[in-house]
Structure 1
Amino acid sequence: MKVSHVSETIHGGIATYLNEIVPKQLLEKSYEISLLIPENQTDCISFNADTMTFKRPKRGLRCLFSLFMSYKRLLKKNKPDIVHIHSSFAGIVVRLYHFFVSKNKPILIYCAHGWSFSMTTGSLSKVIYVLIERFLSNYTDSIICISKFEKNLALMNGLPEDKLKVIYNSLSSQVPKPEKVDVQIDPGNLNFLFVGRFHEAKGFDFLPDIFNELGSNYQLYVAGGARLDNEYDHEVPANVTKLSWLNQGQLQYIYESIDAVIIPSRWEGFGYVAIEAMRSGKPALVSKNGALPELIENDVNGVIFELSCSSIIEAIKKVDKQKLQCYGSEGYKMFIDNFESGINYKILKELYERLGYEKK
């Protein structure tokens, strides 16, 4: 079976997903795997596979046209049986292509990795995104939702239930080898970690004022930062340390040095950082938004808070190191039972095989 993974961008969660799933597929003798990804993002993948690229200096019509033409070349060269589409814009390009060209259409599996209409505040923009997704669902064989929250959101917005399949994102139980980071983390403090972009969706903007109020006994370490033009690089108080972007080994070193992660997201289709923390035996303090309550059970493997400065401060002040260690132990058990990559890879493989069988 020939499988091609196509994505308009792979930064962040999509890269994590591909780095977990594709190496397993490459070990399968029955699969031939290829990728179509941006030319300037190939360093995000950690495996060797047949990879075609397209030019993506920034998102726009030129980028989408480049993806369209490259996809056309991929079809001619590889003749895939399954095209597994990642990200909303790749979903538009690939499925529109097959709207116009129906001959020899491969099986199309689509995962938005977070619905565009869930992160859109303008009512007109949201309606447009919904109408696009509804229309293009007619040219999709299966739509993978990365959480129950994402599936419910799709149903609420009129996507066909018979095409929706929940497959949680997942991680290998084997953690990356820690790589030392040049930072001093005092175990006498309560140390928190924020991982991600300074995008409005991730809610980092709450944290500088919160930690300024909490004082020096509470420390926040920030792995990430502003990546896009619309992301503001916030000023931070003395008890907030910016580490910039870290590789997986460096990030693992920080996970092992802190007490808990904090995820104050406004929108979250899944929450990779939460399960990365769980895998490392660390708890997560999370907002009640999106899929995060599917990953964190309040007062069991972390804390769920309302998204306001006062509620976040209250959540932080109610925990101590002993309680966080108990949460972390429970979180590791929940990770092994629900989010270890072997479990969810098996579900994805069964989906591929079922769709391939139905097409014969």
Structure 2
Amino acid sequence: MKKILHVGEYVKGGVYTYLYNVLRYQKNSEEFDSVFLALSDSKSEKEFPICKNNIFFYKYKRNPFYIIKAMLFIKRLINQIQPDIVHVHSTFAGIIVRIPFFFCSKKNIKIVYCPHGWSFLMETSNLKKRLYGLIEKILAYRTDLILNISKHELVNSKKYGIPINRSELIYNGIEEHRNINNVGLELEIDSSKINLLFVGRFDRQKGLDILLRLFEKNYFPNIQLFLIGAAVLNENINLNLPHHVKKIGWVSPKNIDSYYNLMDAVIVPSRWEGFGLVVIEAMKNYKPVIVSNRGALPELIKEEQDGYIFDMENLSSLEQILKNLNKNKLKKMGENARKKFELEFTSDNMNKKIIKKYKKCLAGIKMEKIKIDDIRNSLPKEKIKIDKMDIWVYYVIRPLSFFVTWLFLKVKINANLATIISMIIGVIGSFIFIPNGFFFHLIGAILINLWIVLDCVDGNIARFTKKTSTFGMFLDGLSGYFFTTFLYICIGLSVFFSQNYYEPFGEQKWVYLLLGSLTSIFTIFPRLVDHKAHTLFSNYTSETTNRKDYGLFHIIGLNIAGMAGLCNPLLLIAVIFKFTNIYLIFYFVIHGLIACYSLVKTIKSVPKDY
């Protein structure tokens, strides 16, 4: 690795703590020659552990004019620095960096994106959540690696279509060393009371209003609540504080440990939280944490072991927790919290994992070193065994597919795109059969045989790159359905319009339209019935689609009528020697018999005890 550029928007609070730790580690790492940072000149911290010449502030406010201006600034900066990696932090920074790359090449730059809390997981309307999810899904196409800061983030991002094969989970981490200096701290601490600390922005997300309302309605004689933070998004916020609540204000991160050290416990009443950096800051300082049951917070705390979890929908649960707090128990829980912190949430642990993912992202696939043998060897033995049942696939299609796979990998075509290309070629090949003329029929037959090759290529790419997905399997199935639906209908239309064949039906050429349509139905109908049986009966086992159990009869049928079988070279021969009509009649009979056989076998295989 040589150069890395970090890009943020409003870098304050949790994002600042995260970035500070990452920058400090990477500055001292042998993996990097240069570390750069770009961020908004407003509402951001100004002190970072890298050379000041490597820090770039851009003028910014959250409005379209400044967002576009920021895009242009960052794009020029990327062109100037030529980083190997651009690591983007938070939602708006993700928009600023990634949108321009839809209109220009990324070249060899890898885009790493950490949302620090997905926008579609915020407390907002379902319409907005769907919109934010759609935007993030689109932007993911120009992203090489997505870092999720909690299991909650990772699991829910999948529901909104964020590609799981580009997503990784790395918990936040902070430095182990505690920077404690009580000199100059003007804070009245009553050691006879439980001193409770809130740290965070004074906004709706962090739930400070919930906490203040609870303290207004209830007098907790043994609790003193302290507030560290300030408004970021709404600077004009006014707080009405009960007499036993004290505002400290915004505290520099280098002094924050001193305040944690004076407290007995920390409270995080957030409405939503992608991670909750305050939680591990408290754990680092031997403090148990009281958290809401929202977002990632519950996965950080073990109830009554290192903290408490209250129900946001039932605030009386928080009231009971506060009333029953005990200093001695809190101290023991704080020791447990520190042990968990050292095990799971240190800066070294986080940064080592981040660099490991960087390396994997940068390595990708070294295209210049790819060999045909490497692609061939990536085919599992089980798949080879299945291929051997199909003569045309094993001896012709699969070997050809390795060469096409090598070409696709060289030009960086992924498995899903290969499937889409095969689908388009298959449909074009089918429809090009319709016009009357030998040239059209020949090109159509060639394209259909090419579709079979490409139908193997997408799987080759997925296996070789080790990037498989449910959506990819769906696309692959869809490609097959497109092909089988249109092929015989188009052949029927071709024969109907052609004048060059011996006509066993005389002037009744409409029969070919019927034969083409019925043959297409015969090829697709057994699949639909089999799929319905799988859907309805959990213990249903198909005897016709499970190739592992194929006998001689099934193998013969597979070779004659299978999608990748001999029907494809035979179609090319039929076009050249002008007996496509006989070909259609033959496969009408074959597919009709197979459909009847498959239907009977499926009905017999369906459990009768339902």
Q: TM-score, normalised by structure 2?
A: 0.57
Q: The residue matched to 2:146 in structure 1 has which SS?
A: strand
Number of the residue aligned with 2:21: 20
Verify: 1:206 aligned to 2:207, yes or no. Answer: no
Give, in angstroms, the shift of residue 59 of structure 1: 1.3
Give, in angstroms, the shift of residue 249 of structure 1: 4.0
Moved more, 68-77 or 35-44: 35-44
Give, in angstroms, the shift of residue 216 of structure 1: 3.3
Verify: 1:99 aligned to 2:99, yes or no. Answer: no
Q: Describe how 1:275-290 pairs up with structure 2 within 5 A.
A: 275-290=280-295
Number of the residue aligned with 1:29: 30
Instruction: Check 1:215–1:319 CA distance in 2 against 1; reply closer, same or farther (3 A cut).
Output: closer
CA distance in 2, matches of 1:140, 1:105: 12
Number of the residue aligned with 2:84: 81
Number of the residue aligned with 2:58: 54
Contact 2:275 2:295 in 1 (8 A): yes
Aligned-partner residue type, residue 17 of structure 1? Y
Contact 2:23 2:50 in 1 (8 A): no
Number of the residue aligned with 1:119: 122
CA distance in 1, matches of 2:59, 2:145: 28
Q: The residue matched to 2:100 in structure 1 has which SS?
A: helix
Q: The residue matched to 2:360 in structure 1 has which SS?
A: helix
Number of the residue aligned with 1:346: 352
CA distance in 1, matches of 2:74, 2:135: 20
Q: Describe how 1:160-199 pairs up with structure 2 within 5 A.
A: 160-179=163-182, 180-199=184-203
Moved more, 215-224 or 227-236: 227-236
Contact 1:137 1:160 in 2 (8 A): yes
Give, in angstroms, the shift of residue 230 of structure 1: 7.6
Number of the residue aligned with 1:141: 144
Q: Describe how 1:177-256 pairs up with structure 2 within 5 A.
A: 177-179=180-182, 180-212=184-216, 213-229=218-234, 232-256=237-261
Provide, for residues 61-88 of structure 1, a one-character-per-residue CA deviation record: whole Å limited to 9, x for no partner. 1221222111122122110111101111
Aligned-partner residue type, residue 155 of structure 1? K
Give, in angstroms, the shift of residue 355 of structure 1: 1.2
Higher percent of residues as helix? 2
Instruction: Give the share of equivalent positions with the same residue, in percent.
Output: 37
Moved more, 246-255 or 42-51: 42-51
Aligned-partner residue type, residue 268 of structure 2? I
Moved more, 268-277 or 198-207: 198-207
CA distance in 2, matches of 1:223, 1:216: 21
Higher percent of residues as strand? 1
Provide, for residues 188-208 of structure 1, a one-character-per-residue CA deviation record: whole Å limited to 9, x for no partner. 011100001121111111122
Moved more, 234-243 or 47-56: 47-56
Contact 2:180 2:261 in 1 (8 A): no
Contact 2:220 2:323 in 1 (8 A): no
Number of the residue aligned with 1:40: 42
Q: CA RMSD in A?
A: 1.6
Q: The residue matched to 1:297 in structure 2 has which SS?
A: coil
2:157 is matched with which residue: 154, 157, 162?
154
Contact 2:265 2:330 in 1 (8 A): yes
Give, in angstroms, the shift of residue 120 of structure 1: 4.3
Q: TM-score, normalised by structure 1?
A: 0.96
Question: How many residues end up aligned between the 2 structures?
Answer: 359
Aligned-partner residue type, residue 58 of structure 2? F
Contact 1:181 1:250 in 2 (8 A): no
CA distance in 1, matches of 2:281, 2:6: 23
Give, in angstroms, the shift of residue 42 of structure 1: 5.8
Q: The residue matched to 1:165 in structure 2 has which SS?
A: strand
Question: Structure 1 regions of 5+ residues with no counterpart?
Answer: none
Q: The residue matched to 1:225 in structure 2 has which SS?
A: coil
Verify: 1:312 aligned to 2:318, yes or no. Answer: yes
Contact 2:12 2:45 in 1 (8 A): no
Aligned-partner residue type, residue 284 of structure 2? R
Larger radius of gyration: 2
Give, in angstroms, the shift of residue 317 of structure 1: 1.7
CA distance in 2, matches of 1:309, 1:43: 34
Instruction: Check 1:286–1:210 CA distance in 2 against 1; reply closer, same or farther (3 A cut).
Output: same
Give, in angstroms, the shift of residue 48 of structure 1: 2.5
Aligned-partner residue type, residue 184 of structure 1? E
Instruction: Check 1:178–1:6 CA distance in 2 against 1; reply closer, same or farther (3 A cut).
Output: same
Contact 1:115 1:269 in 2 (8 A): yes
CA distance in 1, matches of 2:198, 2:335: 20
Contact 2:10 2:42 in 1 (8 A): no
CA distance in 2, matches of 1:358, 1:209: 52
Instruction: Check 1:346–1:108 CA distance in 2 against 1; reply closer, same or farther (3 A cut).
Output: same
